A and B are shown apart, each in its own frame.
Chain A
C-alpha cells in the first residue's frame, strides 16, 4: 500500500474496533451463563442430562478471549487512502466536500 497520507482525508470510520465489542459481549454472556450453569436451575430433563449453560458459558469465554487477544495483538489499521466517490460526471452534484475543512 502506498505510504502517502491524504491529510484530513484520513478516516477514522473504523476507529472503534468491532473485535473488542464482540469480545466484550461474548465474554459477558459467557460469565453469566457460567454462573447460571454453576448455581442456577440446570434443567437437565430438558437438555438430556447436559449442563448446557455451563458448557456454552465456557465456550463463550474462550471465544471472548480470542477476540480480545486478536484485537490486542493486531490493532486496527486506519486505512491510509479511501477511494472517493464523486468522480462520476453523470451524477448530479453535489461535489463532495473536499478534505481539509
Chain B
C-alpha cells in the first residue's frame, strides 16, 4: 500500500511503512510549512527575522534552546553511543551539558543580553575589536555550514532508508523544505518549529523506549541481557565489560583511557568543563535562542528551563540504543564483531542505525509514522538552527560590518534570505562530505574542540578581567584553535587516517585532550600578550566586563517580585541538585 514508494523506484526501504505512517509524516510537514507562512506575516524588519523581535516567553525559548541541539547528531549519535558503550553516554548530558547551561544562564547571559548585541561574534567585536571578531565570526560561519551538512546528511539517509529514494534526491528535497520555512519566517519559524519538534520527538521516542524496555523485561532485564552479552562476546569484538556499560562512572568506555582516575578527570575537565562550556556558552546557535526572549530575566531562564527536559533526554535516546543492541538481530551481530549487510547507508549496518532498526522491529504501523515524523523533525530543526544562526552572523557580522555598511534594513533582510539559500546549497555539498565519515560524533566533537574551547577561555577572561587587551583576544583565540588542531594531528585517530599517531590518544579521549590543550594555551597566551599590550579604556567596557558594569544592569528589576519558581537563581539551584542526584543514581 505504499504509494509514495511506488512513485520513486529505488533501493529496498529499510522500514516497511504503510499509508498510515505516511499520513502522519505528511501532517507534520503541513504544520511545519504552515508555521513558516504564519510567521511570515509577523516578520516586518531584520530584528524580527534574525532575533524574533526579542519577544518570546522563556519556556518557548528554553525548549527551542535544547531542541536546536536535539538534532540528528544528538538522537542518532547518542543512541549509537548507547548501543556501543551503554550508560557512560549520559555524561554528554549530565556532565557535558547541564552545568554549562546553568552557567550560561546565571553568569554569562546578562552580558550577552544586557549589552544588546545581536550575535555572539558581535560581543566579541565590542570587547576585543576586529581581530577576534573576524576569527570568531568566520570560524563560526564555517562550522555551521559543516554541521548543517552533517544534519542534512543524516536527514537524507533516513529518507533514503525510509522511502528508498536515492540519497541525492533525499538531500535536495529535505534541504528545500528547511529552506522554505526559514526564508519565509526567519528565526520565529525556526524556533516555533523547534518547540513543536520537541513534543513530536518526545511523543515518538517515549513509546519507543517504553515498548523497548517492555520487550527486554524492564530495566532489570536490559541489564541482565547486556551483562550476558558482554560476557559471551568474542574478545576480538572489543565489547566493553558489563560493569563499564551499566555504570556511568568512571566511564572508561567513553573516554578510552585505561585508568579509571584519568577517565574521571578527562570527563570532568575535558568534556564537562572545556568542551561543554565552550559549546554551550559561546555557541551562537544556542545563545541566539535566548537572545530572542523578551527580557533579561527570560533570557537568563532560557538555558535553565531548557536544562530540566535536557536531563531526561538521555532516557529517550540512550536507553533505546542500549535496548537495540540486545534486541535487534543486526545490532547484536554488529556489536559481536560481525558485519551485517544493509543499514541506512546501504554499506552495512552501523551503530547509527540502532534507533531506526529498533523502530522497525518494535513499533506498529501508526506509531512508526509518528517516530519517522519525529526523526525528520529533529533533523530538519537541527539543520534549520545551524542555518538561521549562520545567516545572522553572515548578514550582521560579516556582510554588514566588513562588506556593505550603511544600507537599509530591508537590504540586510534580503541579504539574510540570500545567505540562507546559499547556506542550504553549501550544506548539500557538505552532506556528501559528511557521508564518508563513519562516526559522526567524533567528527563533530573534533570540530567543537577547535572552535569552542578557546572561545570559552577568551570570553570568560574578557568578561572578568578588564585589563585583557584586544590583541590578546585574537592571538589567544588563534593559538588555542591551532594548538587543538596540532594535538588532533598528533593523536591516533582524531582526523582519521590523517592523524600521525605520535600521542597515544584515540576516540573521545583525543577530543578531550585537544580541547583542554586549546583552553590552557588560550589562557596562557592571552595573559602573556596582555602584559605587553595596551588595554582598552574602562569607559568602553561598560556592559561587557563584570567590574565595569553596574550590578543593576545585570539583573531584571521585575524579577524580585516574581514567585520563586519564576526566578533565575532558585531554578538553577534546583536543576543543579537534580543533576547531581541523577549522577549518583546511575
Contacts and interface: CB of A to CB of B under 8 A. Distances in A.
B554 to A, nearest CB: 15
Contacts of B551: none
A55 B409 CA distance: 51
A13 B23 contact: no
Given A53-B366, A93-B406, A12 B42 contact: yes
Contacts of A16: 38-39, 42
Given A16-B39, A26-B203, A52-B363, 9 more contacts: A13-B43, A15-B42, A21-B34, A22-B199, A46-B361, A46-B364, A47-B362, A52-B364, A90-B126
B31 interface: yes
A71 interface: no
B558 A87 contact: no
Interface in A13-69: 13-16, 18, 21-22, 24-26, 28-29, 32-33, 36-37, 40-43, 46-48, 50, 52-53, 55-56, 59-60, 63
B409 A97 contact: yes
Interface residues of B, number: 60
A32 B27 CA distance: 11
Contact of B125 (A26, A52, A90): A90
Interface in B36-73: 38-39, 42-43, 45, 47-48, 51-57, 60
23 contacts: A13-B48, A13-B53, A13-B55, A14-B55, A14-B56, A15-B42, A18-B196, A24-B31, A25-B199, A25-B200, A29-B203, A33-B367, A47-B362, A50-B214, A56-B367, A59-B203, A79-B55, A85-B117, A88-B117, A90-B125, A91-B122, A96-B45, A96-B47
B28 A25 contact: yes
Contacts of A47: 211, 214-215, 362-364
B3 interface: no
Closest 6 CB pairs of A and B: A43-B364, A13-B53, A36-B366, A92-B405, A93-B406, A13-B55
Contacts of A73: none
Between A13, A28, A78, A93, the greatest number of chain B beta carbons within 10 A of the residue's beta carbon is seen for A13
Interface in B493-540: none
Contacts of A53: 364, 366-367
A32 to B, nearest CB: 7
A56 B211 CA distance: 11
A61 B23 CA distance: 18
Between B126, B203, B215, the greatest number of chain A beta carbons within 10 A of the residue's beta carbon is seen for B203
Interface of B: 20, 23-24, 27-28, 31, 34-35, 38-39, 42-43, 45, 47-48, 51-57, 60, 116-118, 122, 125-126, 188, 192, 195-196, 199-200, 203, 207, 211, 214-215, 294-295, 361-367, 370, 400-401, 405-409, 411-412, 558
A82 B298 CA distance: 12
Interface of A: 1, 11-16, 18, 21-22, 24-26, 28-29, 32-33, 36-37, 40-43, 46-48, 50, 52-53, 55-56, 59-60, 63, 76, 78-79, 82-85, 87-88, 90-94, 96-97
